[in-house]
Amino acid sequence: MAIEVIGKSNYTKQVLALIAKIYDNTVVADSVYEQAIQCFSGVELKQKQQIGLEQQVQLFESRLAQGSAKDSASFERQYQQAKAELKEFNQQLSEESFQRFSYLKQICITILQLTRGDSSDETLQLTAKMLGTIQLSSPTEGRNVALINQKSKHLYKAVLSLLLLDKLLFDNDISNEYILQRAKAKAGDYNDFDSYHPFRDDVQIPLLMAAILQDIGSCHPEVQKIIYGNDGKADPFRVMDNAERTSMLQVSYSQTLKYVTEQLEDSYQGNSKVERKTFIENSQQRKLFMQQLLKGAIKAESGIGNLLKIPQVYTSVVLSTKPNFVYETLPRVSLVLEKGVEKGVYSNTAVKSLLAITGIFPQGFGITYIPKDSDDQDLDRYEYAIVTGLYPKNLHEPACRMVTRNLTYNVSAQGCIVSVGNNLYYPTARKKLAVISQERLLEIFKLLVSNYEERKNMSLLPKCWHPDEYFSYVKNQNLWNRVVMHRN
């Protein structure tokens, strides 16, 4: 009998590496958010140095203009040296901005390479795989939930933003001329990242960047002080009072815009003046687009800010960092969004579009359901499945991969569309099994739950199950290959 191996498949490693490149806490400190902490902490000193060098240039320029002829040679040397020092300093700043930009851009390119297929169906499959892998790699309970979700949420939100963009464009629900012009523009090979592609380079990559950087202002020392307290020992995931939270959000927002505007800069590599001019114009337009996205996300209404705002709200629920996180409440994300629509704070169109993509149940969510026999009759048990499909035909009926069959874990299991009437998340299905004896339910429970002694106080009719332990085995990490789907 083969020994089951706990670990990471190559794909899971790729996704976790992406997460670490965006947000991590290491000695190397090379993630996007660690780079921002270093950048923010040194901004004031570098500004003083720059001002000092500029004043030095002005001083020697003035002396050269006013000095006597015999001193002119000396003043000229000092003037040229001061100019050289200022130029070198500014070049260093530009290089640092370019390095940060290039690092972030490569992350965005990798996201596109992992989620964009040769057809819309393949793109949805790859995107579901990315979202599901992020969710299933995150703990569903314990002390590390908030910490790991905090790291993962930026990538998850960015991928959702891409999906929402696709949906709104397909439904003609975007009126922004910048996006529409580039979506319709004549394009080259999408997969050739060395050549210009208007929609990919001017819309998708800036959107991914904006989604990843939406909270980058939280790295500013002033915000870090609020988050961790004056002594640096406060719980960063605590529930803040209104004054603290308002102050944190205001400073974070303003510093995010500053970071995008001042601390990230693409650089033209070439000798053509015409190409350089076009490159600079495109770079400026992309940066302006990112600023519009970030500003619009504060008061999205019906504008393009919804491309960030609605995925941000969705992600804040499914990858929650709140102390009172309860896994089984994840499907309530739809209620949170719909409530926001009722209050007039979220766009109805954007919310409907996102929920049409995700359905009620997030990717990777553990479904417990009542299976049917060959005569389409309900059986006297429940089984496990995992949500693996996007765009469910019915929002309440997720497309899943069966994980168990006949109360036995089965890697080669098929797919199923779980109906409301047989999904234990809903009271209707739980009532069906309420007539079954406690002994039978306990028997089912013992067969499905690995750590029975730790979980024996759980409900014998669970609304859902926690699939993160199942997903920790390498052989269980390819849930998105094509399978025959059955209706259950």
The C-alpha atoms of residue 191 and residue 204 are separated, in whole angstroms, by 13
E strands of 337-442, at which residues? 366-369, 383-387, 399-402, 404-405, 408-409, 415-417
> In the structure encoding, which two tokens stand for residue 5, read together?
């191996």
Please give the structure tokens belonging to residue 48: 């003083």
Counting residues of the chain whose pLDDT is more than 70, the rounded percentage is 96
Characterize the bridge pairing of strands 415-417 and 404-405: unpaired
pLDDT in tens, the chain (488 residues): 345 788 999 999 999 999 999 999 888 889 999 999 999 999 999 999 999 999 999 988 888 877 666 677 888 888 899 999 999 999 999 999 999 999 999 999 999 999 999 999 999 999 999 999 999 999 999 889 999 999 999 999 999 999 999 999 999 999 999 999 999 998 889 999 999 999 999 999 999 999 999 999 999 999 999 999 988 899 999 999 999 999 999 999 999 999 999 999 999 988 899 999 999 999 999 999 999 999 999 987 779 999 999 999 999 999 999 988 999 999 999 999 999 999 999 999 999 999 999 999 999 999 999 999 989 999 999 999 999 999 999 999 999 999 999 999 987 668 999 999 999 999 999 999 989 999 999 899 989 987 656 566 678 899 999 999 999 999 999 999 888 888 88
Q: Report the pLDDT value the prediction gives residue 380, as an integer from 0 to 100.
A: 93
Amino acid (1-letter code) at residue 478: N
d(CA 249, CA 294): 13
DSSP 150-210: HHHHHHHHHHHHHHHHHHHHHTT----HHHHHHHHS----TT-TTS--HHIIIIIHHHHHH
Report CA torsion sign: 170, 176, 180, 183: negative
pTM comes to: 0.95
12/478 Cα distance (integer angstroms): 9
Q: Of 315, 347, 332, 294, which Cα lies nearest the Cα of 425?
A: 332
β-bridge mates for residue 368, sequence order? 384
Q: Which of 486, 327, 280, 339 minimizes the C-alpha distance to 402?
A: 486
Give the span between the Cα atoms of 7 and 16, in whole angstroms: 12
Q: Residue 348 is inside which H or E element, if any? A: helix 348-358
Cα separation, 259 vs 37, in Å, equals 11
